[in-house]
């Protein structure tokens, strides 16, 4: 049975407080279709340049607030994941080539931060793990899906997804604002978040993390917010 649709933040720009209404479409396959031929070379280059280690740690963005797209509510919060059978869901709807390639690089038991995006207070809400490696995203073939891509073929699918399972909610919510404070400080002190993709590649809905970045952020849940 198909899991609830999730609209994943992707190419809509940095998270901001006080957004006017709902955000516009992101990672839209129709907008990307004209760029298909040129994307593969760029994607390969991006993968090589974005940190030599496509580590086993990730950050995955999703929208926790209701927003209708083609009549479908694309909301998917950490509470929605928690309510799923076995607290597991497919991570569908990614329509960006770099983010897709990160999905395909994920391995079983890889850990990822569950990140609330495009909402009043963006930030990291919890921890998930990969329980099924990349396989074709069924929503690309469903005409009533917000993520339908008529240019994708079943014998040669463009888009992939993984299954994630909730590990736990963090002991406290770690906001984008707090992470940005550390990022700015670490740029001058050579700290672990100095090159964090959340700020250097903020449009990506799927981002790789180094172990140093992951460990530092996880440690923050034990500290009081700045």
Q: Is residue 215 included in any domain, yes or no?
A: yes
Number of domains comprising the chain: 1
Cα 50–chain centre separation: 16
Q: What is the DSSP letter of 221?
A: T
Does a structural domain hold residue 161?
Answer: yes
Round to the nearest angstrom and report the end-to-end CA distance of the chain: 43
Whole-number pLDDT of residue 49: 43
Residue 63 lies in a domain: yes
Is position 159 within any domain? yes
Closest CA to 129 of 97, 81, 92, 173: 81
Query: For residue 224, what pLDDT is reported?
Result: 82
pTM of this structure: 0.79
Structural domain harbouring 111: 50-173+201-220
Percent of the chain with pLDDT over 70: 75
Q: Does residue 20 belong to any structural domain of this protein?
A: no
CA distance 178 to 8: 22
Q: Is residue 157 domain-resident?
A: yes
Local confidence band at 225 (pLDDT 50, 70, 90 cut-offs): confident
pLDDT (tens digit per residue) in 155-207? 999 999 999 999 999 999 999 999 999 999 999 999 999 999 999 998 999 99
Pairing of strands 68-69, 72-73: antiparallel
- CATH number, position 161: 3.10.590.10
Q: Which residue reads 């709902």 in tokens?
A: 22
């Amino acid at each position: 049975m198909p899991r609830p649709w999730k609209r994943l933040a992707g190419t809509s720009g940095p998270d901001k407080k006080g957004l006017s209404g709902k955000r516009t479409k992101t990672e839209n396959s129709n907008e990307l279709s004209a760029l298909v031929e040129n994307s593969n070379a760029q994607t390969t280059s991006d993968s090589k340049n974005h940190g030599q280690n496509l580590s086993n740690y990730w950050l995955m963005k999703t929208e926790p607030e209701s927003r209708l797209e083609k009549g479908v509510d694309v909301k998917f919060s950490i509470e929605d994941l928690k309510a799923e059978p076995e607290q597991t869901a497919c991570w569908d709807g990614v329509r960006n080539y770099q983010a897709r390639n990160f999905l395909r690089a994920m391995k079983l038991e890889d850990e990822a931060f569950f990140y609330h995006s495009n909402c009043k207070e963006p930030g990291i809400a919890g921890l998930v793990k990969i329980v099924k490696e990349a396989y074709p995203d069924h929503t690309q073939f469903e005409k009533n899906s917000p993520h339908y891509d008529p240019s994708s073929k079943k014998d040669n699918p463009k888009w992939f997804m993984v299954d994630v399972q909730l590990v736990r909610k963090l002991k406290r919510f770690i906001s984008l604002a707090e992470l940005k404070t550390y990022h700015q400080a670490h740029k001058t002190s050579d700290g672990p978040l100095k090159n964090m993709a959340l700020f250097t590649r903020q449009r990506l809905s799927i981002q790789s993390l180094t172990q140093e970045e992951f460990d530092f952020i996880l440690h923050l849940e034990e500290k009081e917010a700045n």
